[in-house]
Amino acid sequence: MVKVPEGVTLVVGLGVSGRAICRHLEGLGLAFMVADTRDAPPGLAAFRAAHPDIEVYCGALAGLDMAEARQIVVSPGVDPYQPELAVLAERPGPCGEPLVVGEMALFTRACKAPVAAITGSNAKSTVTTLLGEMAQAAGRRVAVGGNLGTPALDLLAEQPDADLYVLELSSFQLETTPSLGATTAAFLNLSEDHLDRHGNMEGYRRAKQAIFRGAQHAIVNAEQVATWPDAALPALERFTTSAPQPGEWGIRPGEDGHTWLMHGDVALLPTGAMRLQGRHHQANALATLAMGQRLGLPMPDMLRVVERFAGLAHRGEWVADIRGVRWINDSKGTNVGATLAAIAGIGPTLEGRLLLLAGGDGKGADFSPLASPLAQYGRRAIVFGQDAERLEDALKGALTTHRVKDLQDAMEEAFEQARPGDCVLLSPACASLDQFTDYQARGEAFRQTVRQWISKETP
């Protein structure tokens, strides 16, 4: 058995976050070693070349004696409840924290500037990016990252003079965070995801609730009680896609006949002025405005950003209109909740109907909630990949379904079946790893095929 030397910090996981943890510890001058459960993790040779004096253990954690480690810092991809780590979880570590923590515990110790933290099953990246752009427009020295883009610990090194950190945080990051202490924290929504890691919805919700530990202000979804903090906080605000109650952020028709983003009785912006359309994106804007106001960002600056913000690649991204049919790339819709949001946001805006392209690895999720909105807005569901049969079974009776082998076949079927006024929506409700390297590769395949068709249509 390999023994972690007394007083040495053990980093578990040699992925992107694991390497950021190592760089951070090295910068602090702390002794550390690395463990990875894979026999040959990607990037191992490069890591050893960059850190020739750091011991690296590869293999099952059962072969590693961690009892005398100063602290064990696990990467987000590492399950902290696996037996070898769970047995150590209750032991005390430095700074009054548990022995087993994640990267955000190290970030919180070192960060001196305010933190805006965003979690949720869906829309985290959109809200994080939008808030970052608002802060930048207001002249703040803002650093944006976390689960999105640059790891939080690398932000500290790359932008040490930042006066605001805006962080997207996953349930994997939050479950190993003892106390984040965010200036403002948003829990946007909750739907089935990562049940293979968290066991059930309550375990998943509980992991995300960690975003509120030590928070000064929370913004939550008025329509989902599960997003509300379990313990009282100094300040709490809610957003809704309905008419807001006093103090809430919501959406309401104005006397001019237009629908408006509202804060209580104050009209902020007509929804038609937004480049992003759909109720789900309007909700994202409201949550972001609430966080920005708490951070002291001027409302006129924020509203100008909301107007011009076009969204993120693979997240409800308009690709093209071909023969009167709109093609939307929502490959980031990797769970049922994300796909429900896309359907609810786009469906009511169409003259025609939706053709949904869905499939991949469903991660054990229940697909049945998709049936009702697709019965209302859908023309056809074209399913593919590992869980195509489960999707087909869940949608039978709601609309016509058609099972194919892969995304390319699904797109060709949609091209033949779509009518002017329709929308072909790639929002798979599944992870992509059964057929693609990641959701970006899946979305890019969708884009490329659409562009090839456009070139053929153009004389």
Q: How many residues does the chain have?
A: 459
* Whole-number Å distance between alpha carbons of 194 and 361: 11
Pairing assessment for the beta strands 236-239 and 218-221 based on DSSP bridges: parallel
Q: Of the residues 24, 124, 280, 281, which is catalytic?
A: 124
Q: Of the residues 24, 122, 189, 194, which is catalytic?
A: 194
Residues 339, 242, 210: CA angle, nearest 5 degrees: 60
Residue with tokens 């999105």: 148
Structure tokens at 156: 């500290």
200 assigned to active site: no
Residue with tokens 């463990």: 35
Residues 404, 410, 413: CA angle, nearest 5 degrees: 100
Structure tokens at 339: 């796909």
Residue with tokens 């968290």: 198
194 assigned to active site: yes
405-412: long-range pairs with CB below 8 Å, 24+: 406/435, 407/357, 407/359, 407/435, 407/442, 407/445, 407/446, 408/445, 408/449, 409/384, 410/357, 410/359, 410/382, 410/383, 410/384, 411/357, 411/446, 411/449, 411/450
Name the burial class of residue 456, with classes exposed (0-12), middle (13-18) and buried (19+) by CB atoms within 10 angstroms of its CB.
Answer: exposed
Strand partners, 424: 327, 355
Amino acid at 450: V
396 assigned to active site: no
- Among positive and negative, which fits the CA dihedral 367, 370, 375, 378? negative
Structure tokens at 280: 């789900």
Question: In a 3-state reduction of DSSP, which class is residue 402?
Answer: strand
* Whole-number Å distance between alpha carbons of 45 and 37: 16
Q: Of the residues 24, 122, 147, 217, which is catalytic?
A: 147
Residues 6+ apart with CB under 8 A from 48: 54, 56
Q: Are 373 and 425 in contact (CB under 8 A)?
A: no
Residues assigned a catalytic role: 124, 147, 194
